[in-house]
Each structure stands twice: as structure tokens, then as C-alpha cells.
């Protein structure tokens, strides 16, 4: 059955997911099946449309995720391309319900797909968001070329240095990313180790770089999650273009950053 037919709010949410998936592809951040998305749809899903689970999928994570027990999510399918998700999110993603006790996700609508290989990170982060009062959490993971390039240079593997470098490239970076950028040391894709290290960084930041892999942002709105990565990617490009012009970019001064923080009532960490 087509679940979306009976869930107007769900349709709107799926349209937004599709739009952002298209942006990721257009930005050249989503080669092949690069990137994945999860969105907590518990408040948007009308349970009267439920007709039974298609199947179950076992999860293997060390963290307790009881805050999202029984919650319903859209997750992209393993191996699915963003450009296909943009055309048809429900044919390239799944609606799932989490069962913490059974350590499994129950597939509501899956078209025989498997959830993203990064499901451990998505579920642990979604649990963290819910615990912190965000009912409609979004986790967006993508592969922005410019930002991954920074993570190959030792000097930028320092969160404070990377944050200040990118903040100083354009005022919007300071304003839209007030908590700065976290760095997660390289860990094998799809593992609980990567998920745990990510969770630690999310105590301090809403966006972080997975070293030599990609970027992950969290929030309550998928467009905002996209904007955060977009502005950081722009800042990274400005830095790289200035370098290719043969100069070390001057960047906004400490005073200019302080002035911005005061004007936008941001935490003054300059």
C-alpha cells in the first residue's frame, strides 16, 4: 500500500527529504550512494494507516536507545543514491519503528530494502536528540568534497582551529554554526565505534566532520541541517580559492567576529 497517500504531514516531510537529497546531489556531495538521512516522523505518522510490519532488521549497538523506543523514522536505504532518493524517497528509503528491547527495527514500509549501513550512528544520535527534547530529529550525513579535503590536513584536525578558520571566511558561517565544528577521528564506516565517537562530539557541536569521510549535521529541520553544511562548504571554498590565488586569506578579524557574536547574541567564543 502507499502509506503516504493517507498521511498528508508525512507527504510534506517526504517532499522536503526529496528536495534536500536533490541538493546534496547537485552540490556534488553525493557520489554513488554517498550519504544518508534519518528523520523522526513519530508525530507525523498516522498509526491508523498501519497494516503490519513487513519484516524486522536486527541492530547491534551498545548504547541504550530507550528514548526512541517505539518511534517511527524515515531512513535512507543502504546503497541507495541521493539522486534516486530525490525522485522517490519511499522507493529508496524505509519507514521503520524502533524496538529498543528487542534490539531491532521493524520495517513498516521497506520495499525489501535494508536500512543505511550508518544506522547505528543514526539511531544513537536520534536517541540523543529525543532525550534533549527534540521530537522531530534529523540526522544528515553527506560527503562535501571541500570539507573532507580539510580533514586530510593535520592542522585542521584541531576543532578550534578549523572552526575559527571557517568562521572567519564569511559572516554567515559564524552566525549559522554558533557551536563550531567537531572532529571525529577516522573510524570504520557503519560501526558502533564511529557512532560512539560521534555522540561524544554532539555534546558540544551540531555539525561535525568524520575524518577522511564526510560531514554530519543534526537538528529539528532538514533544511537547517542542509544550510549548516552548505555555509561551511562555502567557507571552505572561499579559503581554498584564496589559497589558489596565491595568498593566505586574511579572514574576519577577532574584533569583527566579536562584533558579529554581539549583534546576533551568539556565545562569544572568539
Q: Does 214 bind Zn ion (CB under 5 A)?
A: yes
Which of Zn ion, ligand 13P, none is residue 233 near (CB under 5 to 8 Å by kind)? none
Question: Which of 189, 200, 204, 212 contacts ligand 13P by CB under 6 A?
Answer: 189
| Distances, alpha carbon 36 to alpha carbons 50, 67, 158, 162, 174, in Å | 25, 22, 25, 24, 26
Q: CB-hemisphere CA count at 13 Å for 126?
A: 32
118, 146, 201, 211: which one is catalytic? 118
Site for ligand 13P (CB under 6 A): how many residues? 12
In terms of CB distance, is 141 or 174 closer to ligand 13P?
141
Q: Of the listed pieces 29-37, 48-56, 88-96, 196-204, which binds ligand 13P according to CB under 6 A?
A: 29-37
Which of Zn ion, ligand 13P, none is residue 27 near (CB under 5 to 8 Å by kind)? none
Report the nearest approach of ligand 13P to the CB of residue 167 (Å): 26
Bridge partners of residue 25, in order along the sequence: none
Q: Of the listed pieces 113-121, 129-137, 175-183, 254-262, which binds ligand 13P according to CB under 6 A?
A: 113-121
What would the grid cell of residue 12 be?
Answer: 510534506
Q: Does 144 bind Zn ion (CB under 5 A)?
A: no
- 48 as an active site residue: the answer is no
Q: Does 79 bind ligand 13P (CB under 6 A)?
A: yes
Report the nearest approach of Zn ion to the CB of residue 7 (Å): 29
Question: Which of 11, 56, 78, 240 contacts ligand 13P by CB under 6 A?
Answer: 78
Closest to 210 measured CA to CA, from 140, 113, 108, 107:
140
Residues with Cβ within 8 Å of 216's Cβ and at least 6 positions away in sequence, in order, are: 121, 125, 139, 140, 141, 198, 207, 208, 210
In terms of CB distance, is 76 or 159 closer to ligand 13P?
76
Report the nearest approach of ligand 13P to the CB of residue 32 (Å): 8
Which of ligand 13P, Zn ion, none is residue 116 near (CB under 5 to 8 Å by kind)? ligand 13P
Q: Applying CB under 5 A, which residues contact Zn ion?
A: 214
Instruction: Give me the active site residues, please.
Output: 118
Q: Applying CB under 6 A, which residues contact ligand 13P?
A: 33-36, 76, 78-80, 116-118, 189
Amino acid at each position: 500500500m502507499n502509506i503516504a497517500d493517507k498521511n498528508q504531514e508525512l507527504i510534506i516531510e517526504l517532499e522536503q527529504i526529496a528536495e534536500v537529497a536533490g541538493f546534496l546531489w547537485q552540490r556534488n556531495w553525493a557520489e554513488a550512494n554517498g550519504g544518508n538521512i534519518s528523520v523522526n516522523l513519530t508525530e507525523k505518522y498516522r498509526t491508523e494507516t498501519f497494516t503490519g510490519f513487513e519484516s524486522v532488521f536486527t541492530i547491534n549497538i551498545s548504547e541504550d536507545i530507550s528514548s526512541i523506543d517505539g518511534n517511527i523514522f524515515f531512513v535512507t536505504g543502504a546503497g541507495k543514491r541521493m539522486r534516486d532518493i530525490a525522485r522517490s524517497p519511499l522507493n529508496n528509503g524505509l519507514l521503520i519503528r524502533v524496538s529498543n528491547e528487542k534490539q531491532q527495527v521493524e520495517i513498516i514500509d521497506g520495499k525489501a530494502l535494508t536500512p543505511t549501513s550508518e544506522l547505528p550512528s543514526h539511531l544513537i544520535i536520534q536517541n540523543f536528540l529525543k532525550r534533549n527534547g527534540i521530537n522531530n530529529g534529523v540526522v544528515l550525513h553527506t560527503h562535501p568534497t571541500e570539507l573532507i579535503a580539510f580533514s586530510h590536513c593535520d592542522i585542521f584536525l584541531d576543532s578550534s582551529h578549523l572552526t575559527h578558520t571557517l568562521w572567519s571566511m564569511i559572516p554567515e558561517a559564524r552566525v549559522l554554526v554558533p557551536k563550531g565544528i567537531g572532529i571525529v577521528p577516522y573510524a570504520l564506516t557503519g560501526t558502533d565505534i564511529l557512532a560512539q565517537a560521534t555522540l561524544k562530539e554532539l555534546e558540544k557541536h551540531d555539525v561535525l566532520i568524520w575524518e577522511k569521510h564526510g560531514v554530519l549535521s543534526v537538528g529539528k529541520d532538514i533544511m537547517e541541517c542542509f544550510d549548516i553544511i552548505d555555509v561551511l562548504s562555502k567557507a571552505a571554498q572561499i579559503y581554498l580559492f584564496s589559497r589558489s590565488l596565491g595568498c593566505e586569506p586574511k579572514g574576519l578579524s577577532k574584533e569583527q567576529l566579536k562584533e558579529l557574536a554581539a549583534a546576533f547574541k551568539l556565545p562569544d567564543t572568539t
